[in-house]
Amino acid sequence: MLQVHLGLSGEQVIDVPADDIAEYELTEGRRLKSYLQRKLFLQDVRLRLLKDESFDLDDYDKVEAPMRLHLIKQPRFLPASLEERDKLVFAAKMGFAWQVEEILARPQDPNLHSQGVTALGVACQEGWLDIATLLLKGGASRYMRSGPKCPAQTPLRLAYFSGHLSIMRLLLQAGSEDETLTGEESILIMAAKRGQMEILRMFLEIARKDDVSPEKLAAAARMARRADHFEIACQLMESGGENEAVLVGMPPEISDES
């Protein structure tokens, strides 16, 4: 069980039962904060967790029971002018990490866009891993689409289209899912079509279960087979996309191994 004290005085205590820790996978600071926001209806404030009454529990710090934590509520964000929005997006685009950190410390909402472009979206597109990390810690949405053209894309898809695998890994580890619009191909399908095994391995290793369901793996395996990436098709099947129809048309030596 975890004990979370409200404020530094610790007068009010919230017990987080072991069942909730297991069910909601409360293994990191960010997951525990999201859980507490929902449980305590604190969507309009930022949460800060302290351990031992002094050290910040960061988003990616491990949470292990038993642990005594203090929950501090802070104002969400200050209003930002159009000029201030533009400044954050520009800093994210140019790779000015110190400026991004300074703006977020105001604190300024990182999700306020500049002509349809978000700071996280442009950082992922340009390949600035340090800035993407800062923005995620500052509360940037992993799902808000960014781009002056329609359809705009999520940060994960922007990182994929730009070939920034380290940022894709960061987003997947932060819990991002590959959300698609009608008519859009998933990253899993596109990677299978193009024979991008490194990206497929990354998804198989750390993606959310919905992104690598047996149905989606089977669909990706069929796409890999149609593109003549037979070994990739077999690996996807072995990873959970079992579907006899995928074997049709494969070279005998490969289909026999499956």
Helix spans in 95-243 (H): 97-104, 119-126, 129-137, 155-162, 165-173, 187-194, 197-206, 214-226, 230-238
Residue 104 has pLDDT above 80, yes or no: yes
Rg (CA), the chain: 21
178 and 189 both lie in a single domain: no
176 and 190 both lie in a single domain: no
- Final residue in a domain of this structure, among 75, 103, 131: 75
224 and 211 both lie in a single domain: yes
Query: 194-204 burial, b if ≥16 CB within 10 A, otherwise e?
Result: eebbebbebbb
145 and 192 both lie in a single domain: no
Q: Residue 127 maps to which CATH number?
A: 1.25.40.20
Helical pair 82-94 and 119-126, crossing angle rounded to 10 deg: 20
Q: What is the pLDDT of residue 229?
A: 93
Please tell me which residue, 44 or 70, carries the higher pLDDT value.
Answer: 70
3 close to 66: Cβ distance less than 8 angstroms? yes
**Cα 194–chain centre separation:** 23
- Final residue in a domain of this structure, among 163, 182, 201: 182
177 and 88 both lie in a single domain: yes
126 and 161 both lie in a single domain: yes
pLDDT digits (tens, 9 = 90+) for 126-180: 999 999 999 988 888 888 999 887 788 999 999 999 999 999 999 998 878 898 8
200 and 138 both lie in a single domain: no
- Which residues pair with residue 146 across a beta bridge? 153
Give the pLDDT mean for 212-223: 90
- Final residue in a domain of this structure, among 55, 75, 95: 75
31 and 99 both lie in a single domain: no
9 and 45 both lie in a single domain: yes
Domain that holds residue 60: 2-75
Structure tokens at 170: 């960061």
Q: Residue 49 maps to which CATH number?
A: 3.10.20
Residue 254 has pLDDT above 50, yes or no: no
178 and 228 both lie in a single domain: no
Our count of domains for the chain comes to: 3
Q: Is the pTM of this model over 0.85?
A: no
155 and 69 both lie in a single domain: no
165 and 241 both lie in a single domain: no
Helical pair 129-137 and 97-104, crossing angle rounded to 10 deg: 10
